[in-house]
Amino acid sequence: MAASVYDLLIAAAFSHGLWLSATVLLAGFAAVLWPVERRPSWLTPQLRTAVPAMISVLFTAGVLLTDRAEALFGPGEVVILLSLLFIAVRHCPWPSALLCGVLDAVALLLLPGRYFRSLSDALVFIVVGLILIGFTAGSAAYLRSLDYRRTVAVGETRRAERVAIAADLHDFVAHHVTGILVQTRVARMMADRQPQEDLDPVLAGIEHAATEALASMRRTVGVLRDTGPEAADRRPVGDLAGISDLVAGFASPVQKSTLQRDPAVSDDLPHEVQAAAFRVVQEALTNVRRHAADATRVTVRLARSGDRVEVTVTDDGHGGTQLPEAAHGGGFGLVGLTERVTALGGELRAGPRGGPAGEAGAGWQVRAVFPAGKQ
């Protein structure tokens, strides 16, 4: 802002050019500082980076064509053009990023033409401009590559989680279909030997198993988009009993782990709900090992309110860990958990523990809530 005021003072010192400089600066400020939440949909990154640069180029061209060399440029316009170059390279879609970036760079390199009439006089400014352009574009391109790599990593994590969900779905449906097959055979054997009323419990069991199989598919198949050869070889699915084993195995002489289970959370919850609860606890406890080895107490809570199941894992650590950097993981475990919980129509939250249980910033909490399914 101070640099822009200096630009206007420079323009005011000459007989003309003040309103042109003000136009360039206002357009640049609107493009760079317009709040994201209030930015209209038509104000795309391409438009934001191209229009102010085009106004600057037209300003410089007008000075050159009218042979007026007294329109001096200032640092405010330089900073704005560099900011627009950064936005173009990092945020504009390809190939618009190249076109808008070149336009911003050209506008910056043409600025000395408003004052200097020979290339030799402007050479120092052009060299400095090229250095600034290279540094800005390089920084933006590096950050763009990091964004791309994270997007790819998140996509791969989600795909792997969907493959795991597909394998779990296979287990759920196979379990129910096997029960249907067994009970159907029993019903056929009973048909000729037993009264009709004795078949009703068997037929009711078949109906229940079929309903559960359809419910499992309906809750999870919506998020599946692809499969892979690794889907044929998957780990066993966890359940509520497995959570007890996880919590018991997590305890150590310096860390106390406690499982608080609401009696309303029964063992006859749908298989995919139990598997999701198991995975939430498993990932949360793993993250305690990785990122909060100084925690002395870890509490796992299973609760039920109406038709919702809540899984909460809290610790009192401050982020201290003795694990090597390579063992910290890639930071995408919560992405997979979010995918799994969302597949069941629930939500997952992770963040610093709040409330009276601990001080702000002390401890961490992972909380997942999802439908319990029809019992």
Task: Please write the tens of the pLDDT for every residue from 49-72.
Answer: 999 899 888 888 887 777 655 556
Q: How far apart are CA 45 and CA 84, in angstroms?
A: 9
Q: At 202, is the pLDDT very low, low, confident or very high (cuts 50, 70, 90)?
A: low
Sequence ranges of the domains in the chain: 2-117, 158-232, 240-371
Q: Which tokens in the block code for residue 106?
A: 């050209």
Q: How many CA atoms lie within 13 A of 331 on its CB side?
A: 4
Helix (H) or strand (E) holding 311: strand 308-315
Per-residue CA distances from 162 to 37, 96, 169, 269, 336 (Å): 32, 34, 10, 21, 8
Helices (DSSP H) in the chain: which residue ranges?
A: 2-12, 18-33, 45-65, 75-91, 96-110, 119-191, 196-220, 240-250, 271-291, 333-343
pLDDT band for 358, please (50, 70, 90 cuts).
Answer: very low
| Structural contact between residues 334 and 350, judged by C-beta atoms closer than 8 angstroms | yes
Q: What CATH number labels 240-371?
A: 3.30.565.10
Confidence (pLDDT) at 128: 92
The pLDDT value given to residue 337: 76
Contact 332, 153 (CB under 8 A): yes
From the number of C-beta atoms within 10 Å of its C-beta (0-12, 13-18, 19+), residue 186 rates as middle
**Encoding tokens for residue 173?**
């449906």
49 or 356: which leads in pLDDT: 49
Report the range of poorest mean pLDDT among 150-159, 182-191, 215-224: 215-224
The yes-or-no verdict on residue 330 having pLDDT over 70 is no
Cα 236 to Cα 245: distance, rounded to the nearest angstrom: 14
- Confidence check: pLDDT of 40 > 70: yes
- CA dist 171 and 90 (Å) reads 44
HSE-CB at 270 with a 13 A cutoff on CA atoms is 30
CB atoms within 10 A of CB 325: 6
Per-residue confidence (pLDDT) for residue 4, from 0 to 100: 60
Mean pLDDT over 27-35 rounds to 82
159-185: per-residue pLDDT in tens?
A: 777 777 666 666 566 555 655 665 676
The span from the first CA to the last CA of the chain, in angstroms, equals 63
- What does residue 229 show for φ and ψ, rounded to 5 degrees? -65, -25
Task: Give residue 137's pLDDT band: very low, low, confident or very high (50, 70, 90).
Answer: very high
pLDDT of residue 101: 93
Q: CB neighbours (10 Å) of residue 104? A: 30
Predicted local confidence at residue 324, as pLDDT: 45
Q: What whole-number distance in Å separates Cα of residue 132 and Cα of residue 18?
A: 26
CA gap 300, 257 in Å, rounded: 8
**Residue percentage of the chain with pLDDT more than 90:** 19
